[in-house]
A = this chain, B = another copy of it.
């Protein structure tokens, strides 16, 4: 492998000059530039990125931590991050946190020890304090799907309240008035905000929120089926079911079908997130689109702008969810 030194020899210049034409930061005369470029070409020179990193203290790599590699979010998020970063010649180092406090911290330390220039984190268990402390270190961090007030400039999040509102508004507008709700774990901010949006939509139409038709699930399929079971046991009537995410909606739909419901005739169901399989369910699931890929891309852009000094990138920290209407909901027929 040719080194910068050989290039400089062949081009008849000093090695510093070669370095300059590579990094384009100092003016080099056109003539010498050409000589150097030619020499590089001839030798098939490729800079050694490790040596570059050691000397410049920049690795051109950004670390990504996600909870699970096989979760529905990850792939889309990654797709957004990778393409943006790759186009800029940066690379992406991946690791997982498995939604456990210590494993998330482990992963973060691992990435830092790898000298990543920045971290994009999708963490669930680690505390706000930890993150605040971490942000004081020299590796900048960016948070996806998590909002910490002290770090708000580095947070990319979805307007969950708006999403919850849009979901329930669409249900209300279809004439439903007896509406059940399966929430996510209320310790999670996104779950709380989705519920808040739901209540707001009801309130706007003067529909009272019925505590008896509320169930707190776990964001998993099983929470959906258990939730519907619970709700049916109340013997209260309801024509629509709002779920705080698609997994729970899918669990609920399965349970409903197994118990003789025709969907959506007997029950309208709406989810949240628009994960890929939402479109494969039967009936296809009406849901709220969660633009994870765009959020990933935005995280990458923030890194490019703030860490790598790219210019003119449109930064947006809060994303707006949108309603995706499919076949699992329909107007209330009395």
Do A94 and B96 have beta carbons less than 8 Å apart?
Answer: no
Q: Does A22 contact B (CB under 8 A)?
A: no
Q: Of A48, A70, A74, which is in contact with the most chain B CB atoms at under 10 Å from its CB?
A: A70
Do B91 and A92 have beta carbons less than 8 Å apart?
Answer: no
Q: Bound complex: CA of A82 vs CA of B98, how far in Å?
A: 12
Q: Bound complex: CA of A51 vs CA of B56, how far in Å?
A: 12
Residue in contact with A69 in the complex, picked from B46, B71, B82, CB distance below 8 Å: B82
Q: Does A277 contact B (CB under 8 A)?
A: yes
Do B54 and A82 have beta carbons less than 8 Å apart?
Answer: no
A69 to chain B, nearest CB (A): 4
Residue in contact with A50 in the complex, picked from B53, B69, B74, B96, CB distance below 8 Å: B53
A91 to chain B, nearest CB (A): 5
A84 to chain B, nearest CB (A): 12
Q: Which residues 230-254 in A have Cβ within 8 Å of B in the complex?
A: 250
* A54-B50, A277-B276, A280-B280 as given contacts; A96 in contact with B82, CB under 8 Å: yes
Q: Does A290 contact B (CB under 8 A)?
A: no
Do B114 and A95 have beta carbons less than 8 Å apart?
Answer: no
Q: Does A76 contact B (CB under 8 A)?
A: yes
Q: Bound complex: CA of A306 vs CA of B11, how far in Å?
A: 40
Q: Which residues of B contact A94 (CB under 8 A)?
A: 78, 82, 91-94
Q: Which residues of B contact A93 (CB under 8 A)?
A: 61, 91-94
Q: Does A49 contact B (CB under 8 A)?
A: yes
Q: Does A43 contact B (CB under 8 A)?
A: no
Residue in contact with A91 in the complex, picked from B69, B74, B95, B293, CB distance below 8 Å: B95
Q: Does A5 contact B (CB under 8 A)?
A: no
Do A59 and B50 have beta carbons less than 8 Å apart?
Answer: yes
* Smallest Cβ-Cβ distance to A59: which chain B residue: B50
Do A69 and B75 have beta carbons less than 8 Å apart?
Answer: yes
* Smallest Cβ-Cβ distance to A109: which chain B residue: B46
Q: Which residues of B contact A174 (CB under 8 A)?
A: none
Residue in contact with A86 in the complex, picked from B48, B75, B110, B281, CB distance below 8 Å: B110
Q: Bound complex: CA of A93 vs CA of B78, how far in Å?
A: 12
Q: Does A113 contact B (CB under 8 A)?
A: yes
Q: Bound complex: CA of A137 vs CA of B324, how far in Å?
A: 49
Do A70 and B59 have beta carbons less than 8 Å apart?
Answer: no
* Smallest Cβ-Cβ distance to A115: which chain B residue: B50
Q: Bound complex: CA of A257 vs CA of B96, how far in Å?
A: 40
Q: Which residues of B contact A95 (CB under 8 A)?
A: 82, 86, 91-92
Q: Does A79 contact B (CB under 8 A)?
A: yes
A280 to chain B, nearest CB (A): 5
Q: Which residues of B contact A78 (CB under 8 A)?
A: 69, 94
Q: Bound complex: CA of A237 vs CA of B96, how far in Å?
A: 50
Do B70 and A79 have beta carbons less than 8 Å apart?
Answer: yes
Binding site for B on A (CB under 8 A): 46, 48-51, 53-54, 59, 61, 68-71, 74-76, 78-79, 82-83, 86, 91-96, 110, 113-115, 250, 257, 276-277, 280-282, 293
For the complex with contacts A50-B50, A82-B94, 20 further pairs of A-B residues with Cβ separation under 8 Å are A50-B53, A50-B115, A51-B54, A61-B93, A69-B79, A70-B75, A70-B76, A70-B79, A70-B276, A74-B75, A86-B95, A86-B110, A91-B95, A93-B94, A94-B94, A250-B280, A257-B282, A277-B280, A281-B281, A282-B282
